[in-house]
Amino acid sequence: MNTPFIEEIKSDIPPHLLFKELQSFPYSFFLDSAIGRETQGRFSFLGCEPFLVFKSKRDSVSLEWNDGRKKLLRSNPFFVLKELFQRFTIFRGRGQEYGIPFIAGGVGYFGYDMKDFIERLPDISRDDLSIPDCGIGFYDTVLVFDHLKEKSYLAGVEFKDIRTDAKNKLRAALSSKISNTAREYFAETGGGLRSNFTKAGYMKTVEEAKEYIKKGDIYQVNLSQRFEADLKSEPYEIYLRLRDASPAMFASYLNFKDVIIISSSPERFLMKTGSYIETRPIKGTSPRSSDPLTDELNEISLKESYKDRAEHIMIVDLERNDLGRICEYGSVKPTEFIILERYSTVFHLVSTVSGRLKEGISPVDCLMAAFPGGSITGAPKVRSMEVIEALEPVKRSLYTGAIGYISFDGNMDTSIVIRTMVIKGKKLYFQVGGGIVFDSDPEREYYETLDKAKGIMSALGIEKVPIEKVPGAF
């Protein structure tokens, strides 16, 4: 068993400015608690130079080592990842001494289409982005920022026969002269947004989703539309603007070579600490307003909405069933139930469902039991995913998958991929959706997606409702 090291460091530079020194390195990452809250937003993590990069596309898996070795194989990517994490293990007690949940391990994303290795589902929509379904970097050293205690650490582990320069690069970033002065970031994307749905097309698809509900196939389904824009700003400047416009507990920036991911997700998917596990579904949204009275009325309306409450209860029940597969009997329960949280552009209804894991359950086992999150599929989950595949014209790619870390000591924390931009080449993409139920109003559902897009639109300097459409839009 490998014993990690933890070294307290002195740094007066906030992590989001410090990461500017690292963001250009391939496979650099920033897991950023842009809203500091004691439980959900306590830590931020920075890293670069992984000793191993895992990628998968369908059942094609590639392993690229930092010493030049490469391996290609065909397998279930979840199984390969589970074997890799079993190979690299560290002693858990060291992190517990400092209260640090992540010392070294895997950081990256699981795209929505990883679902096909969990359930047998149809393959109808187009994969027009062709991004790897999964990308995970394995890191032996990270920078840790504890926002609650206002302390910073250099943490990691030294594995036999593995050498990286990550520690030196992180130390160099810490010693760099970085301005701590706030500055203005100006949007330069231009050209507005283009959607893969017209307004009429989205509303028609909502009606089609309601037909599945009327027939009794499903109770609810998450339906989304995807926007794209031309990229004319530096990606990290876009991230900093998004961070200001729509701060969130699970913000992140991944420079993963094939793709750059900019996320400001408010929703935890799965968090595992020892034998404890929790998920924190969001279901129920209302827009914020600059007018205090309107803002208060929107909050009250969401709290008292029968539709949103009923929809939320269904998802909590679904999440309890998912965790029940891997938890000890009787241990799964809601520890927070339908509470209201305020964000810069929306109100959300949130619950926390937790449980005690059975003996021997690994983080990858947890992902396979609950992926993708029920709050962004629908109920029942499998049939809802079939409906999504039938109604949405393109693959979701990263959207509604998961981003986060799996520590070599068995801890894990992941977010749902919402409020997230994907940059590939000179194009920027993001997706927004909402839960459709029997009494959904199609026009209201369309505008709810735009409410959820406001933070990203603000970061891109776009104020008006998008009216352009991509060729072939529904």
- CA pair distance 10, 32, nearest whole angstrom: 19
- Give the CA count within 13 Å in the CB-facing half-sphere of 352: 14
Do 141 and 398 touch, CB atoms closer than 8 A?
A: no
Do 65 and 54 touch, CB atoms closer than 8 A?
A: no
3-state DSSP helix/strand/coil % of the chain, to nearest 5: 30, 30, 40
Q: Which listed residue (115, 272, 283, 452) is catalytic?
A: 283
Do 137 and 256 touch, CB atoms closer than 8 A?
A: yes
Do 204 and 225 touch, CB atoms closer than 8 A?
A: no
Helix ranges (H only) for 93-230 are: 93-98, 166-175, 199-214
Helix ranges (H only) for 306-400 are: 306-324, 363-370, 381-391
- CA pair distance 394, 375, nearest whole angstrom: 20
Count Cβ neighbours within 10 Å for each residue of 294-307 and write b for 16 or more, e otherwise: ebeebbeebbeeee
Q: Which listed residue (21, 228, 267, 278) is catalytic?
A: 267
Residue keyed to tokens 């209260």: 99
In what helix (H) or strand (E) does residue 412 lie, and over which residues does it extend? strand 412-416
User: 380 by DSSP, 3-state: which?
Assistant: coil
In 58-132, where do the E strands start and end? 60-65, 70-74, 105-110
* Closest-CA residue to 272 (of 235, 223, 326, 232): 326
What are the distances in angstroms from CA 141 to CA 6, 41, 159, 224, 408? 10, 21, 11, 37, 11
283 is catalytic: yes
3-state secondary structure 362-377: CHHHHHHHHCCCHHHC
- Token pair listed for 105: 């391990």
Classify residue 289 as exposed, middle or buried by CB count within 10 Å of its CB (0-12, 13-18, 19+).
middle
* Beta strand 468-469 pairing with 194-195: parallel
- CA pair distance 338, 27, nearest whole angstrom: 37
Looking at the annotation, which residues are catalytic? 267, 283
